[in-house]
Structure 1
């Protein structure tokens, strides 16, 4: 026992000495590592400093190179080879001894930087990476990047109707009878092209066409006239052309245009939008013959997408196998519609065997696929969206407007940056008014009176807002101006009556939702006012497009409160519009109208309360009527049962 104690006490000092040595060794190594890291960091700072200096020198050299290139005029290679060789020599002389050195230095610096960023397995935080990333350039399909440019100058029309000899004489006479003496630029470009592409359509399939031009530039006649001329040569009734539109009102307008210019021909045009009963529309489309079965009664069918699918699914004998033209007007809006997946069902009906357009071309089948014609003021340039249409060797016609309203031929080389930009007519003046929410109706009233405007189209965000604004403006203007609201809640007949009265000048201010924002032709609109700020650029373009049509002057006003101004300015920047100025109406100018505004607000409140009470009474009356009908039917059933049960 004593030996154990002696041994234990003898070993203790030796153990403590060993531990102290180990700790001192570890501390020494740690200090060495810290010192090493300090040196590495100082070296890294020196390298970063040198790298920054190198980058600055390289940037200056590149800037000088760009300035030199900007001074050099680019000449076609085949025309002046010596001039191009001289340019190359100038570049080499300016960059000699600098470009290769800088490139080598940059590579070494990058490599050193990457190596120094990793110290014994740890990444040093806070080290800036100055490696410049390459910008991703958008690459468009060839047909989108190389469009045919259409002028937007509607003041100087150079092509007379009598000069377009490719158009039938009968159609030219009709145009003159309707007072049309000159063609618009979009018609001058598109009509001859479509007629020429269909001249040998039995041998070579015609290319599909996309037309993007401002509202009111004459796009409807650009497809109506060629279709009538091509289709009137057929004597057997088959649906040769299908025209799809996003709304009923626009479908009615296009149908009327077809009817007008098909006078004196044997062409039958049909309109199906759901306005009539489904059975009535079926009778318009087909009839059953005892000998031949179902026979088509129509040459050109104008429709909305949803109603078309209803007939594809449920109408026996409805045949699109002989379709030659598929026209999609307001194409971006129609393509966004997902009603029953109309495009899928249409393709399935046209190609029941599952073949595609390309397959038909390869196998040289006799039946030609329909030529697709897409029209819009805001046509999408997204290849992915357009791909779903399965376009065949498409051709693009587009309008291009620079900030000064003109397109110089020197700028055609950079036209790709304009593709897909939304254009508005040159004759359109665009302005905005900034105001508070409370004073917005009064500012609108003041502006209309101040400018002495008539024939004004006002857009709001909802049916309720349109109705209430109409009541308030009626109270403000009293007998001075006639104000009316219009919406999709009204029957088509009622909407047509209101539009007719507005066009004839019986209504001065027409207040609407975006139901009237697309395609509808309202002659003589002096001013379009966006009372509710547009959420999207497309909405703004189509609203503004209701005025300044067919070469006439027009004004587009947008009313904004302070929080909406940045978003609106972003929309304008997206459309590359820099000439939209503010119209200022101060609160001092509104002070004399204070009492009148209060009276009008009281009238609005009373009118809305009355309408709500009337609406409740109507609902109660309808419920009571339904209840009486049910009780009457129950009594009738009981009485019939009692009669049958009597001996």
Structure 2
């Protein structure tokens, strides 16, 4: 995401849609043990226990009561909750439970996320609970084989040997092989436009996760396309206020609006339900109107729009000019076996800082780079190694700020000060997740202190401890820094001719392609 887009998001209008003025505060909801959660399917309870989950967090409990309880998905839900508060399971659990009440194999739930890594992370959550009740989960993400996805998503009809079939008849008999699909917008549009047998006509649930980012970036107009393909009939043949009680709701009663579920002609089913979620949900009416929400219920934690994790400790470290890398190395070397993510302002800074850290002599630091400058396969391999604990320090651009969940991240370091409140919220949210404690350090120069104080006020942080490093420790690493810096310069200079040749070759290929295209035209 570019700085210009982020700045535009930060300057959102002060106008607020009416339903956002009366939010439901879920911060007062208590954790709930699985055995006391009303109407939870025993099979799902066992699946959650296998995930080492014995109770649900407040946002998960609140959403459960609004979906499985008396709320019964009567209204679309908008959830603004801190990073690490359990938003993924808050929608995955009720959707899986409700879909399991009807034994029919078709695509009924769609979850859309902005990046491949986030989509796969969410799919892992669904994979852990959906098979327990007989549901199948698929993924449609970029940077993977679309042919492999098609074979996973579409079930071909069984053919009798020796019989000739009309290809057109075969394409009409293709069926969905999954009940739930987790997708990125671009790949979703690929399947909508090109995959035979792929249809959204039976869709009952649409989840838009990381909503503010998905609304800010068009992604081939995926949202208006999905909404158009899932519009319900408004011909008046089916009443809008008839009692409806799905079997999964047990003894809880609720009144549901009805419409025709696409593909099940003549049978009343609930309308398409939407859930939108973010830690920094936009308040811009011009963006929210795109979702076409039905009497939305706004669920949030406290009065502030921005909220940091409850057990997060914020610290600031003011560095003398030219000593920021030294302070960073001293900080990292003071920790034993603690996972840490180091955020920088750009892909280039990420790359150079990662190299510099690994060049420090007599240092135990072994860092890896994760940024948009790397191929997707490399990023996935690095993230996997970080999750497994093979990598202790991850240096990254803001490619890793949103949603990514890595267990055991104790510290986050803002090597470069976050330019916006949203950026700070999402960076800090990589630690202190799921009720655990964590620390967020921000390295500053003296000219950034006032601006950082204003940022802290905006995110509702009342306490930010000043952290200091003993001068003798800094002196110890200062000489090593000078040596590492010289090695970095030599490395960069040696790579420059290679990069120049690669750029020349790329430009030459581009020029040849343009010439060929012109000649063909």
Determine whether 1:373 maps to 2:275: yes
Give the superposition deviation at 1:619. Answer: 6.3
Higher relative contact order (CA 8 A, sep 6+): 2
8 Å CA contact 1:458–1:528 kept in 2: the answer is yes
8 Å CA contact 2:17–2:283 kept in 1: the answer is no
Tell me what 2:74 maps to: 206
Task: State how 1:109-508 maps to structure 2 within 5 Å.
Answer: 143-151=19-27, 158-196=31-69, 206-287=74-155, 289=157, 290=169, 292-351=172-231, 365-367=259-261, 368-400=270-302, 418-419=303-304, 421-450=305-334, 454-476=338-360, 478=362, 480-508=364-392
Rate the CA distance shift 1:356–1:550 in 2: closer, same or farther, 3 A. Answer: farther
Give the superposition deviation at 1:196. Answer: 2.7
SS at 1:456 equivalent: strand
Give the superposition deviation at 1:565. Answer: 2.4
Give the superposition deviation at 1:280. Answer: 3.5
SS at 2:260 equivalent: coil
Task: State how 1:522-601 maps to structure 2 within 5 Å.
Answer: 522-585=406-469, 590-601=474-485
Q: Which has the larger radius of gyration?
A: 1
8 Å CA contact 1:457–1:512 kept in 2: the answer is yes
Give the superposition deviation at 1:217. Answer: 1.0
- Relative to the length of structure 1, the TM-score reads 0.66
Give the superposition deviation at 1:500. Answer: 2.6
8 Å CA contact 2:154–2:177 kept in 1: the answer is yes
Give the superposition deviation at 1:288. Answer: 5.6
8 Å CA contact 1:528–1:557 kept in 2: the answer is yes
Task: State how 1:33-182 maps to structure 2 within 5 Å.
Answer: 143-151=19-27, 158-182=31-55
8 Å CA contact 1:488–1:515 kept in 2: the answer is yes
Number of positions where the alignment pairs a residue of Structure 1 with one of Structure 2: 465
Tell me what 1:631 maps to: none
CA offsets 1:35-85 (integer angstroms, 9 cap, x no match): xxxxxxxxxxxxxxxxxxxxxxxxxxxxxxxxxxxxxxxxxxxxxxxxxxx
CA offsets 1:190-227 (integer angstroms, 9 cap, x no match): 1232113686xxxxx72100111111111111111111
SS at 1:151 equivalent: helix
Paired with 2:235 and 2:401, the residues of 1 have a C-alpha distance of: 35
SS at 2:220 equivalent: helix
Of stretches 609-618 and 433-442 in structure 1, the one that deviates more from structure 2 is 609-618
Paired with 1:258 and 1:466, the residues of 2 have a C-alpha distance of: 33
- Relative to the length of structure 2, the TM-score reads 0.81
Paired with 1:474 and 1:506, the residues of 2 have a C-alpha distance of: 15
Rate the CA distance shift 1:148–1:198 in 2: closer, same or farther, 3 A. Answer: closer
SS at 1:548 equivalent: coil
Rate the CA distance shift 1:197–1:139 in 2: closer, same or farther, 3 A. Answer: farther
Of stretches 186-195 and 574-583 in structure 1, the one that deviates more from structure 2 is 574-583
Rate the CA distance shift 1:584–1:266 in 2: closer, same or farther, 3 A. Answer: same
Paired with 1:366 and 1:600, the residues of 2 have a C-alpha distance of: 67
Rate the CA distance shift 1:218–1:152 in 2: closer, same or farther, 3 A. Answer: farther
Rate the CA distance shift 1:468–1:275 in 2: closer, same or farther, 3 A. Answer: same
Paired with 1:311 and 1:626, the residues of 2 have a C-alpha distance of: 29
Paired with 2:232 and 2:177, the residues of 1 have a C-alpha distance of: 22
Give the superposition deviation at 1:306. Answer: 2.0
Tell me what 1:60 maps to: none
8 Å CA contact 1:166–1:192 kept in 2: the answer is no
Paired with 2:235 and 2:311, the residues of 1 have a C-alpha distance of: 44
Rate the CA distance shift 1:220–1:589 in 2: closer, same or farther, 3 A. Answer: same
Determine whether 1:512 maps to 2:396: yes
Paired with 1:295 and 1:495, the residues of 2 have a C-alpha distance of: 34
Paired with 2:309 and 2:364, the residues of 1 have a C-alpha distance of: 31
8 Å CA contact 2:259–2:271 kept in 1: the answer is no
Any stretches of 5+ residues in structure 1 without a counterpart?
1-137, 200-204, 401-417, 628-647
Paired with 1:272 and 1:282, the residues of 2 have a C-alpha distance of: 9
Paired with 2:325 and 2:109, the residues of 1 have a C-alpha distance of: 47
Give the superposition deviation at 1:571. Answer: 1.5
8 Å CA contact 1:528–1:555 kept in 2: the answer is yes
Give the superposition deviation at 1:436. Answer: 4.1
8 Å CA contact 1:430–1:581 kept in 2: the answer is yes
8 Å CA contact 1:152–1:426 kept in 2: the answer is no
Of stretches 550-559 and 495-504 in structure 1, the one that deviates more from structure 2 is 495-504
Paired with 2:206 and 2:510, the residues of 1 have a C-alpha distance of: 46
Give the superposition deviation at 1:308. Answer: 1.6
Give the superposition deviation at 1:158. Answer: 4.5
SS at 1:519 equivalent: coil
8 Å CA contact 1:443–1:590 kept in 2: the answer is yes
8 Å CA contact 2:15–2:284 kept in 1: the answer is no
SS at 1:276 equivalent: coil
Paired with 2:235 and 2:128, the residues of 1 have a C-alpha distance of: 35
Give the superposition deviation at 1:140. Answer: 5.3
